[in-house]
Amino acid sequence: MPHHFKIMLDHLASLVEYVSSHVKLVDKVLSGMSGSYIELLTLLAIGLLAVIPVIVPAKRRQLFRHMTQLFGIIIFVFITYTCMGVFGMVWNFFRGLWEIGRENILALYFCSVPVTIMATAMIFGPTFCGWMCPTGALQEFTGLLFKGWHRKRRADSWRFSWAAFSGVILILLIFFVGMLHLTATRIFYFDDFGIYWSEILIILLFCLLWRMKEWDTSLRRLRILSFFVIVLATVAGLRVTSPVHFVFTKVYDPASLLATVVVVLSALIVPNIWCRYLCPWREAIGWAAKYSTRTLTHDDDLCNHCGTCEEQCRVDAVSQGVVNMRECHMCMRCVDVCPTGCIRVTDKWEPEK
């Protein structure tokens, strides 16, 4: 690696390390254990998002959703300490269960955020994914830069594109340069799970360039494998970290930083690619959402099969007006754009009319 280029990377790493160590608005973990309840702000925010989607004006719902996503980023990045990313959610939950009966306050500290998210998913659907998840929000905001291009590719059945191929090659080069810089000072091990997952993500990008339409459904099952790998690692006592972990704590994690860059850039090629294929927490929320009282229903008598809902869905969870709730992020964009109102938000506890 050229000497001047190495110096530039070292300066950049020093800057990121400084920002990471000063990113929190508080100086230490503040919870009920230390006489403060600032961590409860996260729980209140998660509970609030469960009702926001249906109380805001439909014409302004997406604006409110983006504001809520920004609020989620602020909460998880600048305040909350208990979240270590999509892998850390699983680790925290099991750590909390292990402490029940021994250190109940500590158990509450670790279990509170994962349990609250799962409980809201069982009642209000996967609103966390579409309204507050910081990893998903980063992907979505990045993907908005190429929104028109994504719609064109979707309409073209995601056929091979030289522009997409060039983008994947660029991501591969960035990852390769980053790995060269990191391997000079770091030995990788289980705690750097984000790196291994980002490698899988790059392989997925190459597969999706040619066979996205044919393999999309099958590849989404990788989330199940991802979930069980993280669970097994957690049970084995391995503390694994995930992409975006480096800003969820005050610890500089260069491996997580590189993985985050790969995830965000990959979302330029395939919208919400991490959520679609690899997110283990998304799989857990999808399971919880199967029992949700709130769902999106389709009235076939009103549907004119215009395809507007399919065009607007960023995770391809809508087909012929029917929403696949296992893949849906409950962003409700399909509800807002449907010209006939055939897609509706339905609460199962409402009496039938």
Chain segment 62-87, per-residue pLDDT in tens: 898 898 888 878 777 777 666 667 78
Whether residue 275 is found in the same domain as residue 306: no
Average pLDDT, the chain: 81
Domain's final residue, options 254, 281, 308 = 281
d(CA 353, CA 351): 6
The pTM (predicted TM-score) of the whole model is 0.85
State yes or no: pLDDT of 102 exceeds 60: yes
Whether residue 60 is found in the same domain as residue 121: yes
Give the number of domains in the chain.
3
Whether residue 267 is found in the same domain as residue 158: yes
Average pLDDT of 299-316?
87
CA 237 vs CA 64, 98, 243, 255: distances in Å: 40, 11, 20, 20
Beta bridge partners of 343: 298
The dihedral region occupied by 212, where left means phi > 0, alpha psi between -120 and 50, and beta the remainder, is alpha
| CATH number, position 311 | 3.30.70.20
Show Cβ contacts of residue 67 under 8 Å, excluding neighbours closer than 6 positions: none
Whether residue 133 is found in the same domain as residue 177: no
State yes or no: pLDDT of 31 exceeds 50: no
pLDDT single digits (tens) 35-45: 545 456 666 66
In a domain, residue 286? The reply is: no
Phi, psi values for residue 350, rounded to 5°: -70, 140
In a domain, residue 6? The reply is: no
Domain that holds residue 58: 23-138
Domain's final residue, options 281, 310, 326 = 281
d(CA 45, CA 77): 14
State yes or no: pLDDT of 293 exceeds 80: yes
pLDDT single digits (tens) 265-283: 999 999 999 999 999 888 8
pLDDT single digits (tens) 211-249: 898 999 899 999 999 899 888 888 887 777 777 776 666
In a domain, residue 201? The reply is: yes
According to the model, what pLDDT value does residue 109 have? 74
Whether residue 153 is found in the same domain as residue 271: yes
pLDDT range class, residue 25, cuts 50, 70, 90: low
Whether residue 81 is found in the same domain as residue 153: no
Whether residue 131 is found in the same domain as residue 197: no
Whether residue 217 is found in the same domain as residue 118: no
Whether residue 192 is found in the same domain as residue 248: yes
According to the model, what pLDDT value does residue 4 have? 65
Helices (H), 125-221: 127-131, 134-143, 147-155, 162-183, 193-219
In a domain, residue 247? The reply is: yes
In a domain, residue 272? The reply is: yes
In a domain, residue 144? The reply is: no
| The pair of three-digit structure tokens given for residue 189, joined into one six-digit string | 């091990």
According to the model, what pLDDT value does residue 91 have? 79
Coarse DSSP helix, strand, coil percentages of the chain, rounded to the nearest 5 percent = 65, 5, 30
Helices 222-235 and 193-219, axial angle in degrees (round to 10): 150
Domain's final residue, options 110, 138, 166 = 138
d(CA 197, CA 304): 41
Whether residue 127 is found in the same domain as residue 165: no
Whether residue 199 is found in the same domain as residue 262: yes
